[in-house]
A = this chain, B = another copy of it.
Amino acid sequence: MKDMPTWIDEYHKGSRFGLNGKVLLKKNSKYQEILIIETDFYGKALMLDGCWMTSVRDEKYYHECLVHPALSSIDKKSHILIIGGGDGGTARECLKYSQVSKIDLVEIDEEVIKVSKTFLKEIGGGAWSDKRLAIHIDDGVKWVETTKDNSYDVIFIDCSDPSEFSNLLFTDSFYKECKRILTKKGILATQSESPESFENIHIHILKSLNKIFKLSETMYSFVPIYPSGIWSWTFASDEELNLSKVNYKEVMEIENNCDVWNLNFQNAAFKMMPNKIVKKLNS
């Protein structure tokens, strides 16, 4: 039966998005249900607790937008922290920059990493064997709280939607702790949910980061397998946030290897706030 193609759907506010394929794995970890499906068009895809996390076909829409605005523009980028990111895609994009010397990837669920290494090799790619990547199975909130000041140049929050065990990643106190452990010109980069299907939490994230950091900017783009297909990423810093100020030679190389991101695309994406969100933020 395991080999029979079947429909697996994510349900969200009276809509559902399903992929058809063979379920390669379905198991419960300590934290969540993990499912891997193999599909024709999207390739292999990962679902956690009923929500699509990533697929081989469209993961670049997400990972390239989370990583490159921060890393292509920041001068010092030797120490990176990734909170979540157990599929390896964020680490893979970070490792394209030769100046990155150390990445701490802090994932709470060891099973997600094991499953990704086994079934989603295309996503993590060479990252798993790169000596610059250190994997820590730990609670991201605890990790940040116990890290000393000025430790990281960039922090990526690559987490799932708010839930019982990820809620704390969306709080003011967590963002303040992130700020404390960033270097002086450091950047916090976080996925900031969908302005359409998670409007309230989206606005909450923007307002929180805007309050806690001197500078913050939000970009909007596409993630086909996420609810509504509209997604956002927010970047915050206390010193400098000049996300279009890049080393062109380096960026050209990165662009050549990207499916979605390029500098023009990025600069535009920072202005793609739907008008109804503009109105709500200004009201």
Q: A residues engaging B (CB < 8 A)?
A: 7, 9, 13-21, 39-42, 58, 61, 196-197, 221-225, 228-230, 255, 258-262, 264-265, 267-276, 278
Min C-beta distance of A206 to chain B, whole Å: 16
- Complex Cα distance, B230 from A222, in Å, reads 6
Q: Cβ of A39: which chain B residues have Cβ within 8 Å of it?
A: 14-15
Kindly list 7 other residue pairs between chains A and B, CB separation below 8 angstroms, not including A14-B41, A221-B272: A9-B16, A15-B20, A15-B39, A15-B42, A255-B275, A261-B275, A268-B270
- Cβ of B17 and Cβ of A42 under 8 Å apart? no
Q: Cβ of A229: which chain B residues have Cβ within 8 Å of it?
A: 222-224, 228-230
CB < 8 Å neighbour of A258 from B13, B273, B275: B275
Q: Cβ of A41: which chain B residues have Cβ within 8 Å of it?
A: 13-15
| Complex: chain B residue closest to A220, CB-CB | B222
A-B pairs, 8 with minimum CB distance: A229-B229, A268-B271, A268-B268, A224-B228, A13-B41, A222-B230, A14-B41, A16-B18
- Complex Cα distance, B38 from A1, in Å, reads 35
- Complex Cα distance, B273 from A258, in Å, reads 12
- Complex Cα distance, B100 from A219, in Å, reads 35
- Cβ of A17 and Cβ of B19 under 8 Å apart? no
- Complex Cα distance, B14 from A19, in Å, reads 6
Q: Cβ of A197: which chain B residues have Cβ within 8 Å of it?
A: 224
Q: Cβ of A271: which chain B residues have Cβ within 8 Å of it?
A: 264-265, 267-268
- Complex Cα distance, B268 from A221, in Å, reads 11
Min C-beta distance of A108 to chain B, whole Å: 29
Q: Cβ of A20: which chain B residues have Cβ within 8 Å of it?
A: 14-16
**Most chain B CB neighbours (cut-off 10 Å) among A7, A196, A262, A274:** A274
CB < 8 Å neighbour of A196 from B16, B21, B222, B273: B222
**Given A13-B40, A15-B19: A273 touches B265 (CB 8 Å cut-off):** yes
- Cβ of A272 and Cβ of B272 under 8 Å apart? yes
CB < 8 Å neighbour of A21 from B14, B58, B225: B14
**Given A15-B17, A41-B13, A222-B222: A259 touches B274 (CB 8 Å cut-off):** yes
Min C-beta distance of A37 to chain B, whole Å: 10
Min C-beta distance of A266 to chain B, whole Å: 9
Q: Cβ of A221: which chain B residues have Cβ within 8 Å of it?
A: 272
**Most chain B CB neighbours (cut-off 10 Å) among A7, A9, A222:** A222
| Complex: chain B residue closest to A64, CB-CB | B275
